[in-house]
Chain A
Amino acid sequence: DVKVTQSSRYLVKRTGEKVFLECVQDMDHENMFWYRQDPGLGLRLIYFSYDVKMKEKGDIPEGYSVSREKKERFSLILESASTNQTSMYLCASSVSGRSGDTQYFGPGTRLTVL
């Protein structure tokens, strides 16, 4: 079974703090994704990576950066957390770059920024 793990299930941070969210997948997948999920808005893509050290902006990259130094690990960074970044953050991975490949999700990190 594919396993995608995220470093924390719940996280509380203060405005202005730097926040790191870590995601690890164990199936040698090429693609990794970071989404945020908010009520009524569904999942929105923040960033994705199709190879080590490669990244592309998704639909809402502002206020976020990412790092992929190893194939299995994809980190999301909030340089200076703000209250509007309070959300559920979901990491996902997929096998390759084929159109519509199944994405496997981690359990999510619920981030609260006070």
Chain B
Amino acid sequence: GESVGLHLPTLSVQEGDNSIINCAYSNSASDYFIWYKQESGKGPQFIIDIRSNMDKRQGQRVTVLLNKTVKHLSLQIAATQPGDSAVYFCAETSNFGNEKLTFGTGTRLTIIP
């Protein structure tokens, strides 16, 4: 079946450095992608999203890149802070507005002070 996967389960980054979290997806019909951050004891928190008609979108300290050719998604976090430590999930859906998201397995990001 279709799945969304992550290349690395854990990532440690020095505070102040940039981090990149990667995600591969297999559903070629996917047209909407979202990154979520989940801290311990909390639900996933929306970070940024991107539609398939775009290849890059920027937010505050975050950038999402989409490469549809190789079905790859990445989340870049600039100037990481201790509060960025969390598990990050990518999610996709094959029908924009379809709330049935398929989530990746997650990457645990640890910021080293």
Q: A and B: real partners?
A: no
